[in-house]
Structure 1
Amino acid sequence: MATNLSEANAIQEAGAKRPSDWRAVLYFTLHGFGFVGSTLLITWGLFFLFFLAIGGFSFDGLIHQLNNFTTRYVAADAARTGAFINIFAIAHMILSAAVITLRRDRILPERPSQGERHHG
């Protein structure tokens, strides 16, 4: 009987730990999505900065460069658009790898110090 009682207590304690487990998984998942999302926005911002730079850092130059780019893209055949998509994907992967390397200390969430931990 004592064994069954201790097993019941162990099961009850395990059940009490479950909410903190799924909260930790949810926190880690949300932090991961935040890291991936911010990395994506940073790389898109770098592409924007590239077009802004080749446009002479003016809004008019940016719009002219985007117009030139879209005119050539729409007029291109399937082979050229496929080549462009490959170049864009490779550039995006390189930029993403560079941004992730520079932000590598933010991949994992910070651990709270002993005084900041909340139990319950």
Structure 2
Amino acid sequence: MATDADDVTTSITRKGRLTAAEWRSVLYFTLHGFGFLGSTLLITWGLFFLFFLAIGGFSFDGFIHQLNNFTTRYVAADQARTGAFLNIFAIAHMILSAAIITFRRDRILPDRTQEGTRDHG
């Protein structure tokens, strides 16, 4: 049983270039992958927003006060504290992203049934 990846590899070695249908498949997969990564990034940023909203008492005024407190302390910090914060932020971002990707793992690959219906239209 051959897969689409085997077909692409065979066509590259056989003809030296991809056909239009193969390019569509590659571009569709690439666009879907960037969409998945972009939506994961936006969800992660939304969780950071929700965190500041939660510690602000779920009010806009509390949210703005928390952001003001955070930015005042960040701007006043020396380089060592700023670097430590960036490390903590990067680790938290990776943990949240990994959790979101785990919850959305069924969406990583495109749905092959939908792609097949588009080619016939």
TM-score range, shorter chain: 0.7 to 0.9
Q: Counterpart of 1:116 in structure 2: which amino acid? A: T
Give the distance between the partners of 2:46 and 2:85, measured in 1 at CA: 19
Per-residue Cα deviation, 1:13-62 (whole angstroms, up to 9, x for no partner)? x69x7000011000000000000000000000000000000000000000
C-alpha displacement at 1:112, in angstroms? 1.2
Q: Pairwise mapping of residues 73-88 of structure 1 onto structure 2 (< 5 A)?
A: 73-88=74-89
Q: Counterpart of 2:105 in structure 1: which amino acid? A: R
Moved over 6 A (4+): none
Q: Pairwise mapping of residues 1-120 of structure 1 onto structure 2 (< 5 A)?
A: 18-112=19-113, 116=117, 118=119
Which structure has the greater CA radius of gyration? 1
C-alpha displacement at 1:67, in angstroms? 0.1
% identity of equivalent residues = 83
RMSD of the TM alignment (CA)?
2.4
Q: Counterpart of 2:22 in structure 1: which amino acid? A: D
Higher relative contact order (CA 8 A, sep 6+): 1
Q: Would the alpha carbon gap of residues 60 and 19 (structure 1) be closer, same or farther in structure 2, given more than 3 Å must change?
A: same
C-alpha displacement at 1:116, in angstroms? 3.5
Give the distance between the partners of 2:118 and 2:40, measured in 1 at CA: 29
Give the distance between the partners of 2:35 and 2:42, measured in 1 at CA: 10
C-alpha displacement at 1:76, in angstroms? 0.2
Q: Name structure 2 gaps, 5 residues minimum.
A: 1-14
Give the distance between the partners of 1:88 and 1:117, measured in 2 at CA: 41
C-alpha displacement at 1:117, in angstroms? 6.8
Q: Name structure 1 gaps, 5 residues minimum.
A: 1-13
